[in-house]
Each structure stands twice: as C-alpha cells, then as structure tokens.
Amino acid sequence: MLPDPSERAALLRRREHLARALGGAPAVMASSRPRPRNYAADQFPFRAASHFLYLFGLAAPDGMGVYDGEAWTLYLPDPGPDDALWDGEVPGFAEVSERTGCPVRSRSALPEALARAAKARAVATLPTPDLETCADLAALLGREVRPGRLLPQDVPLADAMVALRLRHDDVAQAQLRRAAEATTPAHLAGMRATRPGVLEAVVRAAMEAEFVSRDVRPAYQPIVTVHGEVLHNLKYHHVLREGDLLLADVGGESPGGFACDVTRTWPVTGRFSTTQRELYEVVLCAQKASIAAVRPGVRYRDVHLAAHREMARGLVALGILHGDPEELVVDGLTALLFPHGIGHLLGLDVHDMEDLGDRAGYAPGRERSKEFGHRYLRLDRDLEPGMAVTIEPGLYRVPAILGDARLTARAGDRLDRAVLERYSDVRGIRIEDDVLVTAEGHEVLTAAIPKEASDVEAAVMAGR
C-alpha cells in the first residue's frame, strides 16, 4: 500500500514538475473508492486511480491529493472505530507522509482547503474510473466530473500529466521491469501446463498461480484461448485439442501498479505444424522488424506500417497474398488478417492513460485513421527515450472479416483464399513484447519469455 522509501524522491519530483506545469492553478487528484461487486462490502480488489498512484505511490482508498497553487497536501480518511478489528492496522498519517514526502491531513479538512484553493481560480481535476469518486469530486468542486470529460480548467492538468507520464523516470522503469519479471514465470508455467484434453482454464490457472503466489495481480483480464481470432476473448471453457494453437495475452502488475503486457502463442502438442510454423514465422519477422524500428524520433505509426509491410512480404512469399507488398498494405489487404494496431503506450495502465482518450496516444495535430485495421492504432507519437510501448503484431482468420464483402471487396484475387484455406489450423497468432525506448534505441523488457518457435516448443515440452 505504501510506496517504497526509494521512490520518495521521484514522487516529490513528479509533483513538483506537475506544479510547475500548472503555474499556480489549483488541482485535486483522487485515488478511488473501493468498487462494490455485489454490494457495498463485497468489493473488487482495490485499485487506486493511476494518476493518483503516479503522484503519491499510495494504494489507499478514498485519498485526495490537493495542490493549492503553492504546495501539495494529501487528505486521507480518518481510521474508523472498528477498522482495526476488521481490516487491521493501517499506516498512520506520519508514516504515509514520510513515505510519500507529502504532508497528510484528515479528509474532514478537505472541503475547507478546496474552498480556499478555489477562491482565486477554478480547481482542475481528472475523473477517476469510479463514478462514486467522481460524484465526491463533483460535490466538493460544485461542477461536473465524469469519466472521459474534461472541463476547460482540466485540460492543462491533463496535458501536464500526459507530458509527465509519457516518459518513464527511473522509478517507473524499475516498476515496469518488476512487472515484466513477474510475467516471465507465468508464461513459462502456462507453456508447461499445456497439453491436449485440458481446459483453457487449466492453463490460465497455472499462469495466474505464478502471479498470486508472488502477491502480484494481473494487470488486465487474461486472454488464454484456442480462439485467438477473437481479439479480446475472455472465455476459458474450451478443451485444448491436438493441432490447436493456444494464444495467451497475460501480464502482471508491479507492486506500484505498473503493467506488463505480453502475448505468446504456442502449439498444444508442443510442436507447430508446418503451416502453423510458417505463419508464426511471418508474425515473428514482422514483430522483430517493428521492434528494430523502435528508437527516439521514429513515428510510431511508421513502426505499425513496418509490421504491415513485413507481414505483406511474408504473406506474398507464402502465396496467401499476391502483389506488391507496399500496395497490399496501402490497399488494406494486410489489415484483413492483422486488423488491430501494432501496440500502445504502457505504464500504470496497460493502455497507458487511455482514460484521457487519444490525448496521450496521439500527438497534437494527429488523428486516428478512419481505415479499417488502422483505426485501432492507439498510439501515433514520435518516440522519445523513456516511453514504453508494446509491439504486438498478429495474424488472424476472422470469419466476421473474411466473410464481409464490404471489407474484402478491394482484395479481389490478391487474397488467395485457396492458399489461406491450407492454413486452417491457424485461427490466431499474436506475439507481443514490451519495449522501452532508450537514448540509444530500445530495450525489450520482456525478452526473457521464449518466442523463437523452437524455444516455445521446448518450453511446452518441458511440462511433459
């Protein structure tokens, strides 16, 4: 719940940077209330709002950090009379203050402090994912607070948070590394647990057990499926069969709340078929080409297009597509098989700062494409040192796409369905790593997880 003492200086720096960017304008940043699952006392595991976590490193419910134009103060609920019985001791205000480097006061003093701060200028805030805290903020500030909506005074705050969180400082990078370290054994355990006849859920259980046993939480709902062609498939009830590929998109969350996001695809039998291996190599080549393109100054959309071009070359070589690779990309043929973006920002959120819409992902003046397959690209900035991104090309045979004449019309006979049909033992392949942009180029944070076809096979066979 408390930040590590080693993070104190970074937390102070982050709040100082933000204060400077705000230029004396007051702001309040809220953590979150516990979210009820069935009823008030039956809750989902508590997760503080990412902006609050970034500034205070504190996973405490119902906290609010206030910048009054001069200094930061953290307001926390007073302990209730029965808290010690039901929830145990929580750190006192003095300890929280020491760890966060921020004065702490009782939340009961918050309304007065906010009223004082609001006298001169409108108080900025960022909506939290939970509506209850939004309602608290709305009541405190006498204004609307809703996820996805910013008032004019919030825009400089949002822009300042984006500017801060875009480039990860040393403490954030260390957290990203810890998330990646926790994710490696999960993928290895998933590969080892894979065998024909068991449920997808059995592999998921083996992967999650590696998180839970380390007191790590999944950063997002895991995808563990033999139907990788359903991109966000959250069902786990299929039996693994010989000849299936299993796609696992599973990442852990560091103690400080930073995400890892990794996908591997492996054969249930432990051996790729010839056709599976051919397509796997196409995706892997595209992934390596994209990763190789990651360095400061490169536009992320060009990394996305590099993957499409590499994929076009591979698909032409296999005879699935016909024509000039560059044209095939421009005409959207690769998007029929690779319909999502090459990746996204990674940080405290698995799609970092997606709560602010495209403000984080798209540089000012850039807009999402309207084209199928490119409109899902969540990031289009020039890369800078300290940014973390995912690189996650995939190849899928999606009936809803390949059967949609409006989408496939432009393909004509450049999409060779007879050849594609030979690859019917592939429904979906995705290979995803987390990549940190460095001054020199990049560092793959998730390099320890097998991805060469033969390494993946060996990892699966290690469970036999």
Residue 86 CB, shortest distance to a second copy, in Å, is: 5
Contact present, 93 and 121 (Cβ < 8 Å) = no
Given the complex with a second copy, which of 272 and 396 has the nearer CB atom? Answer: 396
Residues in region 394-453 near a second copy by CB under 8 A: 398-401
Residue 1 CB, shortest distance to a second copy, in Å, is: 9
Residues in region 25-54 near a second copy by CB under 8 A: 35-45, 47, 49-50
Range in contact with a second copy (rule: CB under 8 A) among 18-26, 234-242, 301-309, 410-418: 234-242
Q: Can you read off the two tokens belonging to residue 368?
A: 């999402």
355 contacts a second copy (rule: CB under 8 A): yes
Q: Distance (Å, rounded) from C-alpha 237 to C-alpha 200?
A: 6
Given the complex with a second copy, which of 43 and 273 has the nearer CB atom? Answer: 43
Range in contact with a second copy (rule: CB under 8 A) among 392-400, 414-422, 430-438, 440-448: 392-400
What is the residue-wise DSSP string for 10-69? HHHHHHHHHHHHHTT--EEEE--PPPEEEETTEEPPP---HHHHHHH----TT-EEEE-S
Q: Which helix (H) or strand (E) holds 322?
A: none
Given the complex with a second copy, which of 73 and 125 has the nearer CB atom? Answer: 125
Q: Which helix (H) or strand (E) holds 187?
A: helix 170-193
Q: Can you read off the two tokens belonging to residue 220?
A: 């997002």
Residue 63 CB, shortest distance to a second copy, in Å, is: 17
Instruction: Could you list the beta-strand ranges (E) of 193-308.
Output: 217-218, 223-225, 245-249, 252-253, 263-267
Q: What are the residues facing 72 on neighbouring strands?
A: 67
Alpha-helical segments (H) within 194-247: 200-213
Nearest-5° angle of CA 268, CA 273, CA 275?
125
Residue 37 CB, shortest distance to a second copy, in Å, is: 5
408 CB neighbour count, 10 Å cutoff: 16
214 contacts a second copy (rule: CB under 8 A): yes
202 contacts a second copy (rule: CB under 8 A): yes
C-alpha of 201 from chain center: 22
Q: Distance (Å, rounded) from C-alpha 440 to C-alpha 297?
A: 11
What is the dihedral sign for C-alpha 14, 17, 21, 25?
positive
Range in contact with a second copy (rule: CB under 8 A) among 91-99, 343-351, 361-369, 424-432: 343-351
349 contacts a second copy (rule: CB under 8 A): yes
Q: Which helix (H) or strand (E) holds 124?
A: strand 124-125
Q: Return phi, psi of residue 253, to 5°.
A: -115, 130
266 contacts a second copy (rule: CB under 8 A): no
Among 22, 162, 201, 447, binds a second copy (CB under 8 A): 201
Among 8, 121, 227, 422, binds a second copy (CB under 8 A): 227
Q: How many residues bind a second copy (CB under 8 A)?
A: 62
Among 70, 112, 215, 413, binds a second copy (CB under 8 A): 215
Range in contact with a second copy (rule: CB under 8 A) among 99-107, 109-117, 197-205, 435-443: 197-205
What is the dihedral sign for C-alpha 276, 281, 286, 287?
positive
Alpha-helical segments (H) within 294-344: 300-318, 325-330, 333-337
Residue 51 CB, shortest distance to a second copy, in Å, is: 10
Residue 190 CB, shortest distance to a second copy, in Å, is: 12
Residue 217 CB, shortest distance to a second copy, in Å, is: 10
What is the Cβ-side half-sphere exposure of residue 296, based on CA atoms within 13 angstroms?
8
Range in contact with a second copy (rule: CB under 8 A) among 92-100, 201-209, 298-306, 445-453: 201-209
* Residues making contact with a second copy (CB under 8 A): 35-45, 47, 49-50, 84-88, 129-132, 135, 147-148, 199, 201-202, 204-206, 208-215, 220-221, 227, 230-237, 339, 348-351, 354-355, 398-401
